[in-house]
Amino acid sequence: AQSVTQLDSHVSVSEGTPVLLRCNYSSSYSPSLFWYVQHPNKGLQLLLKYTSAATLVKGINGFEAEFKKSETSFHLTKPSAHMSDAAEYFCVVSFGGSQGNLIFGKGTKLSVKP
Amino acid sequence: GAGVSQSPRYKVAKRGQDVALRCDPISGHVSLFWYQQALGQGPEFLTYFQNEAQLDKSGLPSDRFFAERPEGSVSTLKIQRTQQEDSAVYLCASSSRQGYNSPLHFGNGTRLTVT
């Protein structure tokens, strides 16, 4: 069965330090992978997506993610956190087929301390 | 430009009442999705439309949930005889293209509280 696991429910960093949000997936297919961000009382916004092109994907706001097939991982990183990065982050996997076949992780809440 | 618009933003219903949640997708977007997001969880798929056709409703939790998109633009999610477990944020998303790797544009959601 396909699944996606976000390994940390909450990550706290200091402003200016690196961010690492971890995501692992389980699939017998080659998936498409996304990271979305959700600010309080706002809709989900796409940060970046991987669709079998380059394994290192650059997104908006300085975020990037690396697809590692051998580790079935798609971790999200940013070199230097900003206060405005505080939000909930969702790793999302699509296994093809039905349009609705998107599986969201449970989310990681990122806190940024001044 | 205008994004996906959902109304109302907040809805409080007494158990047993019927509710209707509206979604205005981005103009011209072919695909429309509804998701349910319980507190502290990620969104879970409810149903998908391609234009006016409901191609997938496998995520609807019961026959009390009904969605329509009669003219291929605005969509309504209706919940009959609401129960407390229906309390959640209901998210609508649209996409300009077919294909499972098309990015989705989400609305801000409707927070439903059933008392």
Mind listing the pLDDT tens digit of every residue in chain A (114 residues)? 678 999 999 999 999 999 999 999 987 677 888 999 999 878 899 999 887 778 899 999 999 999 998 899 999 999 999 999 999 999 998 866 554 568 899 999 999 999
Q: How many beta-carbon pairs under 8 angstroms link A with B?
A: 70
Say which residue, B96 or B24, is predicted with more confidence: B24
- Chain A contacts to B (CB-CB under 8 A): 32, 34, 36, 41-46, 49, 51, 90, 94-102, 104-107
Q: Are B2 and B27 in contact (CB under 8 A)?
A: yes
pLDDT bin (cut points 50, 70, 90) of residue B112 is very high
**What's at A9, amino acid-wise?**
S
Q: Is the pLDDT of residue B101 over 70?
A: no
Rounded Cα gap, residues A6 and B48, in angstroms: 25
Looking at residue B100, what is its pLDDT?
53
pLDDT mean over B28-36:
92
Looking at residue A26, what is its pLDDT?
87
Determine the distance in angstroms separating the CA of B16 from the nearest CA of chain A, rounded to an integer: 27
Residues 65-84 of B with CB under 8 A from A: none
Looking at residue B1, what is its pLDDT?
55
Q: Note the pLDDT tens digit of each residue in B9-18.
A: 999 999 999 9
Looking at residue A32, what is its pLDDT?
84
The answer, for B30 touching chain A at a CB cutoff of 8 Å, is no
Q: Is the pLDDT of residue B87 over 80?
A: yes
Rounded Cα gap, residues B3 and B108, in angstroms: 10
pLDDT mean over B59-78:
96
Give strand ranges (E) for B1-115.
5-7, 10-13, 19-24, 31-37, 44-50, 53-56, 65-68, 75-79, 88-95, 105-106, 110-114
CB burial of residue A89 (10 Å; 0-12, 13-18, 19+)? buried
Looking at residue A53, what is its pLDDT?
72
SS3 state at A62: helix
Looking at residue B40, what is its pLDDT?
86
pLDDT mean over B58-76:
95
Cis-peptide, bond into residue B8, ω within 30° of zero: yes
Mean pLDDT of chain B: 92
The answer, for B45 touching chain A at a CB cutoff of 8 Å, is yes
